[in-house]
Amino acid sequence: MRKIEESTPAGRTPEVDKNKKEDKRNGKKGSFLFPVIMVILIGVILFSGYQVISILTERVEGAEIYEELDEYITVDRKETEKITYRDFVERAPNIYVNFDKLQEQNPDVCGWIIFPNTKINYPVVKGKDNSYYLSHTSTKQRNSCGAIFMDMNCNREFGDAKTIIYGHRMNNGSMFENLLKYREQAFYDENPAGILITPKGSFMLSIVGAREVEDDLKYYRTGFSHDDEFRQEIDILTSGSLIQCSDSADMDDDVVMLSTCVKGDHSVRFIVMAKIVSMDEYFKN
């Protein structure tokens, strides 16, 4: 008797049929996953766009808030953004800030600083901690541009041997971003000092060094037990300066350390060291 063998239609095998069934199942899965993935991607794009628009809007609002404060000072930021240093120092003794009106809005206002040929022309505030003014303007409005603010441990009348002032490095050039111009010797040579105005008087901020430091508390001390310790502090913070300064600070000087972050590296800060000099002394020298 002839043996009968099982067979399948020509050109097909059980394996082929199995693969086709798996392909159909995979196709159904793929057709289901594709719209899900597209919905997720669209959601991410829309959320990212919303975030970008919110940030840009907030920065515009922050700039407008600070521009409105120009009414309290006799020289506005547009004038000091582009000015010869000679004109800057000639105008310095006559710059007036209406602290009474500013402090009616916010009693935390304790000064005003200006650096020529930068956007740095802002009130200085001191809060109860070092976090509030990271996200609030000097008028106490919530905004990511924050404020230029004094360290909580410092004397609000700038009476300490070392006063620390912080500010964000904003990508639009506002707040303390322009502080980084003092990386360049040529810029320092043309703009060696700024102005500090307080309710008790006006002073020059004569720059004595600019450098990067680690984001470490040892660089941010505000109290010193004796003069030699302060002298050592000044030596540490001005050594390795990126610029050669014509002025220097010693134990008898009060200094201001201006601090901001460095783009792309949150472990590093850029600081500018300046000593507080009376207008009369500065112009005499």
Ordered alpha helix ranges (H), the chain: 14-68, 77-81, 85-91, 99-105, 185-190, 227-238, 279-284
User: Is residue 52 situated within a structural domain?
Assistant: no
> Would you say residue 238 lies in a domain?
yes
Is 92 among the domain residues?
Answer: yes
Question: What span, in angstroms and rounded, lies between the C-alpha atoms of 66 and 175?
Answer: 10
Neighbouring CB atoms inside 10 A of 149's CB total 25
Q: What is the C-alpha separation between 190 and 247, in angstroms, rounded? A: 14
The distance from CA 101 to its chain's CA centroid, rounded to whole angstroms, is 26
CB atoms within 10 A of CB 34: 10
164 within domain boundaries:
yes
pLDDT in tens, the chain (285 residues): 444 444 444 444 555 455 555 555 555 555 656 676 766 666 556 555 545 455 556 767 878 899 999 999 999 888 999 999 999 999 999 999 999 999 999 999 999 999 999 999 999 999 999 999 999 999 999 999 999 999 999 999 999 999 999 999 998 899 999 999 999 999 999 999 999 999 999 999 999 999 999 988 889 998 888 888 999 999 999 999 999 999 999 989 999 999 999 988 888 999 999 999 999 999 887
Secondary-structure breakdown of the chain: helix, strand, coil percentages, each rounded to the nearest 5: 40, 25, 35
> Domain range spanning residue 271?
59-284
Q: Is residue 76 part of a domain?
A: yes
C-alpha 66: how far from its chain's center? 15
Alpha-helical (H) ranges within 132-278 are: 185-190, 227-238
**Which residue type occupies 81?**
E
With respect to residue 32, please indicate whether it lies within any of the assigned structural domains: no
C-alpha–C-alpha distance, residues 140 and 157, integer Å: 20
CA distance 194 to 96: 15
How many domains would you assign to the chain? 1
**Positive/negative CA dihedral, 204, 183, 136, 80:** positive
**Whether the model pTM is above 0.85:** no
Residue 77 lies in a domain: yes
Q: Single out the residue of 242, 128, 265 nearest to residue 273, CA to CA.
A: 242
Report the C-alpha gap between 209 and 188 in whole angstroms.
Answer: 10
Structural contact between residues 168 and 261, judged by C-beta atoms closer than 8 angstroms: yes
In this structure, what DSSP letter does residue 192 have? -
Q: How many helices (H) and strands (E) does the chain have?
A: 7, 8
189 within a domain of the structure (yes/no): yes
Cα gap 52→186, rounded to integer Å? 35
Return the CATH number at 118: 2.40.260.10
